[in-house]
Structure 1
Amino acid sequence: MVDLSFSIYDLEYFLLIFVRVSCFVYIAPYFGMNDTPARIRIGISFFTAWLLYETLTPADAVVVDTVMEYAVIVMKEAIAGLLIGFGANICMAVVNFAGSIADMETGLSMATLLDPATKETTSITGVLYQYSFMLMLIASGMYRYLFGALADSFTLIPVNGVVFHADSLLQSMTEFMSDYILIGFRIVLPIFCVILLLNAILGVLAKVSPQLNMFAVGIQLKVLAGLTAMFLTTGMLPGAADFVYQEMKKMVVSFIGGMM
């Protein structure tokens, strides 16, 4: 006969695990997208928390005396889960940055659309890159690493063991901002070089043939050259995704280290 009895301490301990996991799923890449059904996110959070609860020793249950103490622990676990998910999610912003540069160079910066995932107005190339990188995130199994990092965080940072080090977290964000621009330009570098070469050619033609309207001709050539370069460099996206995923791993580890 299955014994489903549990104590109030076990319930409190499970809820603390559930809070950290649910906050991570709420903001993590792919799972935190607005077009992901809420029932799916709740189900993933619940069953992941249940598996972690069965793995962790119940002897580590947190005993509190007042509701206020328990509320403080809940807030600490929620912030810990949000920071771990934020460390992974912020790296996907590099893709939108690269798409904005590509659209600015090709003359498509005015053609924006509403991203159903973020409910924000983004560039066309940014949305294309974002969904391509999300697809590669699932195909490459990167989501397993994210959940593995979340599970390991309970070993490194036990429940009610979160200690926030502001200097370490700030240093992680500062290092990320330096890599943010570098990775973004690496993604869009082929398109940037093609448009730069095209601008040089148009500048020479404008001097050689002043009677030609290079402004009208240049707009069409930039769009054609930009789309052609984007099509020819599609095979380079997996390599660019590796840069983003390596940065994602680095940010998750540094954020966990900043809470130990």
Structure 2
Amino acid sequence: MLDIISINSIPVFLLMFVRVAAFFVTLPLFSYRTIPTPFKIGFSFFLTFIMFYTVDSSAVAIDEFYLFLLVKEALVGLLIGLIAYIILSAVQIAGGFIDFQMGFAIANVMDPQTGAQSPLTGQYFYIIALLFLLSVNGHHLLIDGIFYSYNLIPIETFIPFHDGSIVEFVIDAFNKMFLIAFQMAIPIVGCLFLVDVALGIIARAVPQLNVFVVGLPLKIFVSFVAILVFLALYIALVKSLFEIMFETMQGLMQLFGGV
């Protein structure tokens, strides 16, 4: 206990605290405005205090490179949380594709959690995804990610940016994110495309009918019915999205640690 509270252990504790606090700045769920900042700081502090007993800090040298270690720890926490947030944003991108076909693209809403504008359908899917993440204790797995990151990324090592493997990995993660967004949007977008084809045929067959007046409520009705039908498919895709998110976080930590 005396070693834990000694003066020599404070710089190592500060390094761990910077990584954990930076991790919660960009991590989904924990980084939202609805969570008070004192709670984030206190949770980061006590989580760091718990992890301090389990991390080997004997190899950390307090020298002129200590400031660079602080910057590295902040980058590790920010980037790991950010890659998880980017992967989870596939739900909102899929909602943007759907809203563009529904005619809701001009009616964005303000997300109180992030303070950014988001599409209506995307916000609906995003709330379902977050509730599903909480129901399967996914937030516990996110905390495990920062806990076990010290096994892959030791405190005393720096990030190997000399090769392009990290850039290629991030680009591949973006590709997976857009692929899942396309898979989530394609059922609704496909149905709305068929509605547009039918409206085009009706406009040619019955010129007296104003398809612009009939088309908008019809497309909204078809979209709601399609969302209700394909909701089970969305849950399966969100489950796959979570698996990709956790695998991407682990892969990025392995690259940061030079594994």
Using structure 1 for the length normalisation, give the TM-score.
Answer: 0.92
Alpha-carbon distance in 2 for matches of 1:235, 1:46: 39
Aligned partner of residue 258 in structure 1, secondary structure: helix
Corresponding residue for 1:137? 133
Cα distance in 2, alignment partners of residues 190 and 217 from structure 1: 22
Aligned partner of 1:80 in structure 2 is 76
Residues in 1 aligned to 2:143 and 2:251: alpha-carbon distance in whole angstroms: 16
Between the aligned residues of both structures, percent identity stands at 28
Q: What residue in structure 2 maps to residue 205 of structure 1?
A: 202
Structure 2, unpaired ranges of 5+: none
The correspondence of residues 1-260 of structure 1 with structure 2, limited to 5 A, is 6-60=5-59, 62-66=60-64, 69-165=65-161, 167-260=164-257
Q: 1:4 to 1:167 in 2, by over 3 A?
A: closer
Identify the range of structure 1 (85-94 vs 250-259) with the bigger mean alpha-carbon deviation.
250-259
- Contact kept in structure 2, 1:76 and 1:160, CA below 8 Å: no
Q: Is the 8 A contact 2:11 2:62 kept in 1?
A: no
User: Deviation string for 1:23-81 (max 9, x for gaps)?
Assistant: 10111110011221112211221111111101123534x23234xx3221110111011
Task: Quote the offset at 1:180 in angstroms.
Answer: 2.3
| CA distance in 2 between partners of 1:5 and 1:38 (Å) | 26
Residue deviations 1:100-133 (CA, integer Å, cap 9, x gap): 0111111111111111112111111111111111
Confirm or deny: 8 A CA contact 2:95 2:122 kept in the other structure. yes
Q: What is the letter of the counterpart of residue 218 of structure 1?
A: G
Question: How far does the alpha carbon of each residue in 1:117-171 deviate from its partner, in whole angstroms, 9 at most, with x for none?
Answer: 1211111111111111111111111222222221221012111213233512210
Distance 1:29 1:184, change over 3 A: same
- Compare 225-234 and 133-142 and name the one that shifted more: 225-234
Given the superposition, is the C-alpha separation of residues 41 and 154 from structure 1 closer, same or farther in structure 2, using an over 3 Å criterion?
Answer: same
CA distance in 2, matches of 1:184, 1:58: 42
CA distance in 1, matches of 2:119, 2:226: 17
Give RMSD over aligned pairs.
Answer: 1.7
Q: Is the 8 A contact 1:9 1:63 kept in 2?
A: no
Deviating runs (4+, > 6 A) in structure 1?
none
Q: Which residue type is aligned with residue 28 of structure 1?
A: L
Q: Structure 1: give runs of 5+ residues left out of the alignment.
A: none
Query: Quick check: 1:77–1:160 contact (8 Å CA) kept in 2?
Result: no
- TM-score between the two structures when normalised by the length of structure 2: 0.92
Separation in 1 of the partners of 2:132 and 2:189? Answer: 23
